[in-house]
A and B are shown apart, each in its own frame.
Chain A
Amino acid sequence: MINSEEGIGLAPDRELVRLRELLLGEHPRRIDEIAERLDDPTLRSKEVGAVLPNAILRHGPAMDALPEALEPQVEEALARSIQRDPARIARILSPIIGRAIRRSVRQALAGLAQRVSQTVDHSLTLGGLAMRVEALKTGVPFSEIVLRRSLLYRVEQLFWIHRETGLLLAEAVEHDVATRDPEIVSSMLTVVRDFVRDSMDVGEHDALDAVTVGELRVWVEPGPHAMLAAVIRGHPPESLRGRLSDVLDGLHAQYQTELEGFDGELGPFQGAPRRLARALVSQEEPGRKRMSPVTLALVASAVVLGGILFGRRFVENRAVEQYVRVLDEAPGVEVLETGRRDGRVLIRGLRDPLAVDPIQVAREMDIDPDLLAFRWEPIVSAHPDLVVLR
């Protein structure tokens, strides 16, 4: 016993291992393996990595807590990423956010623009015109026309400009517009924008989006890789912005890879002008019949003039009527009918040669005798006044 005690005491570990092996068979090695896997962080992360996607994909109820658990970490990660390089996240999100913001702003503005242009449209229809005649007479004349005129515009040139280099990628121009070195204009525009952003205290993403040069204005629509500059004559509606940004979005989508690897090669962008040209719009000659201010002025004065003429004829008619009645009541005169011939008033009837002179009566009643013509059948009246005369 003592010996055996000694024996155990001499090599207790080995004995125990043997005992364990006898009792448990293969298991001890497995346990050691598992222990090692749990202790070695590299191994462990490798193993967790292998099952993690699967675990997340399995929508067991246990997984329901995952989004909640991840939320703070994801938020933190995003915040850090934005802090380090805000441009990166902005670039990633700009197609979505930019589009959404632009759309809602556009909608808000579109409503307003519509109301304005409807008011103006009405004032320019012929029906509206009739109602305006009164206004014209009372001296509230062409304010509406001025407003309408102020909505006329034409996009004359479009520059699609690479943001970082300021290089012109493509251009679209109205055929009758002379362009002077669009490449220089493009570069200088980027300079001006940078300058404004740096020198005025504006946020990183606020930048110059409109420049006015004489009667031309330049609208700049920014995008992730390239911007669109439109040279506009006249007064564009705010809705034009939407059109510009749609065209710009389309260009970005079509030329995504070319833009990312852009090194000055213009070959890949040869199809771009066709797409650009969709924003070469104008609002001069609307599909609907709308009169130009000049035509409108002419029509308006014609109406006024017509009114004056019509009025005079109307007044004239009343006088003639009265005259006819007076004649008709005169002794020895019987008016049978009145009509118009060759611009004169024709009066037919029966008349005793001794009755009043119709021309004399006309003069007395302030009616130009030249406007009158008569067809009288001579009669002998039995009227007492005439009998006396006779």
Chain B
Amino acid sequence: MVNTNGAWTQAEGRDVVSKKVCLVGSFAVGKTSLVRRTIDDVYDEGYLTTVGVKVDRTEVKIGPRTVNLMLWDLAGEDAFAELRLDYIRGASGLILVADGTRADTIDSAIELKRKINRAFGPLPSVLALNKSDLVASWSISDAHCRILGRSGAWSVVRTSARTGEGVPTLLATLARRMVAP
């Protein structure tokens, strides 16, 4: 009555590790834009706020290893919507995103990091200071950036989803932090 078919795809015999990575940060800091730059290498001026979560996939090579990054692009936090901690469960790494032109988004990133730490313990993290193409109108100083980088809680990378600057570094840095040699 029922056929069993012998066809299947073998998970290729390569050295693959999969990691769940969450992008978090205030609304409109550029989380979705960074993902689109990563996946499709495109940039869109328009702003469509993310509702819930959208997952995408990208791969990063670290030596002989392929790191399969599942990027969970979460809705930004604002006065009305609090971050849903449920979505962070099971994550191996965090990309915290802040908008260099809005200093308060850095405070939010720090606060988010603290909150997630409390719930899940410290996770390998990278802070993306996004919109580096607008650095002229940034509201934070170089000194401030350096201090942020010294905390040890995360690596800090300047990115621009618009120009693509720093985006590959962002992912490679996090991948390396997650797949400790």
Contact = CB atoms under 8 A, between A and B. Distances in A.
A173 B9 contact: yes
A281 B11 contact: no
A183 B8 contact: no
B19 A264 contact: yes
Interface stretch (B26-34, B87-95, B154-162): B87-95
Interface string A263-285: 11111011011101110111111
Contacts, number: 108
B57 A181 contact: yes
B141 interface: no
Contacts of B92: 165, 263-264
Interface in B1-38: 1-11, 13, 15-20
B16 A266 contact: yes
Residue of B11, B70, B72 with highest tally of chain A CB at under 10 A? B11
Contacts of A269: 11
Interface residues of B, number: 32
A191 interface: yes
B10 A273 contact: yes
Contact of A191 (B4, B13, B16, B53): B53
B11 A273 contact: yes
A154 to B, nearest CB: 9
Given A167-B70, A265-B17, A278-B4, A194 B9 contact: no
A281 B3 contact: yes
Interface of A is mostly: mixed
Give the contact-size bracket for chain A.
Answer: 35 or more
A170 B86 CA distance: 24
B90 A165 contact: yes
B18 A264 contact: yes
13 contacts: A164-B89, A167-B19, A168-B18, A170-B11, A172-B8, A174-B5, A183-B68, A183-B70, A263-B17, A270-B13, A273-B10, A277-B6, A277-B8
Given A174-B5, A187-B20, A270-B11, 17 more contacts: A165-B70, A166-B70, A167-B90, A172-B9, A173-B9, A174-B7, A194-B87, A266-B11, A266-B68, A269-B11, A270-B13, A274-B8, A280-B4, A280-B5, A280-B7, A280-B8, A281-B3
